Amino acid sequence: MSAVDVTTRNNVTVLGREDGPAVVLAHGFGCDQNLWRLVVPALAERFRVVLFDHVGSGRSDSSAWSAGRYSTLDGYAEDVLEICSALDLRDVVLVGHSVSAMIAVLAANREPDRFAKLVLLTPSPCYVDDGDYRGGFSRDDIDELLESLDSNYLGWSATMAPVIMGNPDRPELGGELTDSFCRTDPMIAGVFARATFLSDNRADLPKVATPTLVVQTAQDAIASQEVGRFVHEQIAGSELVTLDATGHCPQLSAPEATAAAIIGFAGAR
């Protein structure tokens, strides 16, 4: 795949200081690169900031999506590596939110030389409880999530399908595209949700050799503090920061503190 193909496929945006160290921001399940909007200005002052949409999310090229490649997190990790290679990025600071924290771990384990540091924002290596491990959810809970994605299927397909399909006969749908923020084809979302919430990447954590910062919030319904501590303990030499913030998306609920944590870790020698 050519560099242009990769940047189009993943709707890659590059901004900030051209001579700055590269910081790649990877969004999680349920949204797109817009999620970083509030932390980007602070990061762009010091770094070369690279944003992208996972295939199937945001304004990525959904024709590049295939169930085969994107049914496991490996496909997404492969994309991250292809983006870094296409832009010829070195000593990358890779910031992964939510499921992208594990995608970042997989990418860094595959090409350790490419990455200088990892920032794992509200990570969870495994959402489903397993013996003594408390991921926070039962298998039934995950099935329920997949069901709620399905029940949002009809409402979506009626209005969004022609837009995503790129229907030139219906230009009036162009307006809808601006409202497509965080919208995604529920079928694709369902596959991404399965990959997100049913993956178990606990065994990948001890293999991380890249300096890592784990950032969690005080109250997170998706990735508990216990899970954040687990990630920290499994990655040797990692640092753990608990932000005085609530929710699963600190880049939205506490953008200053989140940006400060990333800058403090990424900028340190």
**Residues classed as catalytic:** 98, 220, 248
Q: Is there binding between residue 149 and other proteins (CB under 8 A)?
A: yes
3-state helix, strand, coil in the chain (%, to 5): 50, 20, 35
CB of 24 to other proteins, least distance (A): 20
Q: Is there binding between residue 148 and other proteins (CB under 8 A)?
A: yes
Beta strands in 27-165 (DSSP E): 48-52, 92-97, 115-121
Q: Which two tokens stand for residue 145?
A: 């999530």
Single out the segment in contact with other proteins by CB under 8 A; choices: 4-12, 33-41, 46-54, 70-78.
Answer: 33-41
How many whole angstroms separate alpha carbon 48 and alpha carbon 25? Answer: 11
DSSP code for 14: E
Among 45, 71, 177, 181, binds other proteins (CB under 8 A): 181
Q: Which two tokens stand for residue 137?
A: 């959810």
Site for other proteins in 4-23 (CB under 8 A): none
**For residue 109, how many other CB atoms are within 10 A of its CB?**
17
Q: Is there binding between residue 142 and other proteins (CB under 8 A)?
A: yes
243: phi > 0 → left, psi -120 to 50 → alpha, else beta; which?
beta
Return the number of the residue (113 or 169) whose C-beta is nearest other proteins: 169
Q: Is there binding between residue 143 and other proteins (CB under 8 A)?
A: yes
Q: Which two tokens stand for residue 152?
A: 């949002």
CB of 197 to other proteins, least distance (A): 8
Return the number of the residue (86 or 149) whose C-beta is nearest other proteins: 149
Q: Which two tokens stand for residue 209?
A: 């050799």
CB of 252 to other proteins, least distance (A): 5
How many whole angstroms separate alpha carbon 114 and alpha carbon 88? Answer: 10
CB of 255 to other proteins, least distance (A): 10
Q: Is there binding between residue 77 and other proteins (CB under 8 A)?
A: no
Helix axes 73-86, 99-110, angle to 10 degrees: 60
CB of 40 to other proteins, least distance (A): 12
Task: Name the residues that contact other proteins, by CB under 8 A.
Answer: 28-31, 34-35, 37, 98, 137, 141-155, 181-182, 197, 221-222, 246-249, 252-253
